[in-house]
Amino acid sequence: MKKLISILTAIAMAYTGMILSAETAVCEDKSASEPIKIMAIGDSITDGYGVSGSYRKYLYNELVKKGYNIDMVGSKGNDQMIEFYDSETGEGFSYDDDNTGYSGYAIKEYPGRSGILETLISTNCLETCKPDVVILQIGTNNIIDNYDATKTYNDLKELIEYIYDNISDNSVLFVTTIPDVDPNRQEVYNWFSNYRHSSDWQTNYSDEEAEENILNTLLKYNINLSWLVRNKRIEKILDNFDISTDSEAPDERDLEGPHLRNADVAYVITDVKTQLMDGVHPNNKGYKLMGEYWAEMIDDYLSGEIVKQKIYKIADLVELQKYILGSASPMNSYRFLDKYDLNYDEIVDIFDLVLLRKELIKNS
């Protein structure tokens, strides 16, 4: 049992404060004749509600500029190249519009919503398209409806496992957080009606109270999502490790099976007033930031370059000390928790400070 506990601890620590190499590249030669097939899966933010091509057009264009041969694939589209021109910047390019984005869809179907899971199954698009890279961004409609949090978590787990089990061993699945929303804008005000009163309809909440409840629900969803991906990666390592021996836990990069990655596209949507079109869906400014984020993530993965995750500096130690002493508050609670919760107990406290000090000493 002690050996198992030490293994789990070592694996958990591998995701904190370390420099991790990218997994085996899908395509190390950017000039390869075989295209890299990318499938973007999601709801209206992927589909492009009100803004054609969503972030996908920028992702495609950025990777092409980096020298990649890209084939966007999915259950929708006819392998057509779409022309895009941005009147604000004067930028123009063509992009492959194939995707698996469906406006209004939830993670899994429930009354009033169709589900992405059922759509993937019915279209069999993963088996048909055989993507090298899968991007999954889903959950915004679950949040809008204030759908049961436990069911949402279980649905997301089922969806991730379905995708993971139906892609090839040399592919990668990126699962991303969803961006913040601006729920009191007129265009989307009524969408969030389930947050504007108590469950028994006896109490009405102010716009400020409703917004706080909505953002807290979204925050919890993003934390749960990150945990789901981390836990599945740990399970993959344990499934390939014989605890009856004295050998070290295997490197995840050496294991068979698809690769799985956390992503945080919410990180780039920093201003919901100027980067969202209507309070939920990004405008081209927001979509461009998202597309550039994904291009860098995928480029790092494909090129096999070192991917740095959570590299700590003395400034981080100072920031964490100020927070624990009560003299500073984080600007963004989700990203603060994700960065400084080194022991993964969903609380940032003195124990995380001790671990951070050890990490700095070890790497000094």
Contact status, residue 114 vs residue 102, Cβ threshold 8 Å: yes
- Given the candidates 3.20.20.80, 3.40.718.10, 3.40.50.1110, 3.30.499.10, the CATH classification of the domain at 2-311 is 3.40.50.1110
Please report the pLDDT score of residue 88 as a whole number.
76
| Of 29-43, 202-216, 236-250, 308-322, highest mean pLDDT | 202-216
In terms of pLDDT, which residue wins out, 227 or 252? 227
Same fold, 2-311 and 313-364: no
Please report the pLDDT score of residue 307 as a whole number.
39
- Rounded to the nearest angstrom, the gap between the alpha carbon of residue 128 and the centroid of all alpha carbons in its chain is 24
Task: Point out the least confidently predicted range of 63-67, 277-281, 350-354.
Answer: 350-354
Q: Is the pLDDT of residue 249 over 60?
A: no
* Secondary structure of residue 37 in the 3-state scheme: strand
In terms of pLDDT, which residue wins out, 153 or 303? 153
First-to-last CA distance in the chain? 33
Could you list the beta-strand ranges (E) of the chain. Answer: 19-21, 36-42, 70-73, 81-85, 92-96, 100-101, 133-137, 172-176, 259-263, 306-308
Integer CA distances (angstroms), 229 to 19, 118, 121, 238, 278, in order: 18, 21, 21, 14, 30
Q: What is the pLDDT of residues 289-302, one digit of tens each?
A: 999 999 999 998 88
Please report the pLDDT score of residue 73 as a whole number.
97
* Secondary structure of residue 346 in the 3-state scheme: coil
In percent, how much of the chain has pLDDT > 70?
Answer: 79
Q: What is the pLDDT of residues 173-215, one digit of tens each?
A: 999 999 999 999 999 999 999 999 999 999 999 999 999 999 9
Please report the pLDDT score of residue 157 as a whole number.
97
Query: Residue 11, Cβ neighbours under 10 Å: how many?
Result: 18
Please report the pLDDT score of residue 347 as a whole number.
76
Is the domain defined by 313-364 classed in CATH 1.10.1330? yes
Phi-psi region of 180 (alpha: psi -120 to 50; beta: other; left: phi over 0): beta
Domain boundaries, the chain: 2-311, 313-364
Q: Is the pLDDT of residue 171 over 80?
A: yes
What is the residue whose two structure tokens read 């990668």?
172
Query: Residue 117, Cβ neighbours under 10 Å: how many?
Result: 22
The pair of three-digit structure tokens given for residue 144, joined into one six-digit string = 């809008």
Task: Point out the least confidently predicted range of 138-152, 207-221, 273-287, 297-311.
Answer: 297-311
Q: What is the pLDDT of residues 108-120, one digit of tens each?
A: 999 999 999 999 9
Please report the pLDDT score of residue 26 as a whole number.
30
The model carries a pTM of 0.77
The pair of three-digit structure tokens given for residue 7, joined into one six-digit string = 């293994």
Residue 161 — very low, low, confident or very high, per pLDDT cuts 50/70/90? very high
DSSP 322-336: HHHTTS---SSHHHH
The residues pairing with 259 across neighbouring beta strands, listed in sequence order, are 172
Q: Which residues contact 299 (CB under 8 A, 6 or more apart)?
A: 63, 66, 68, 305
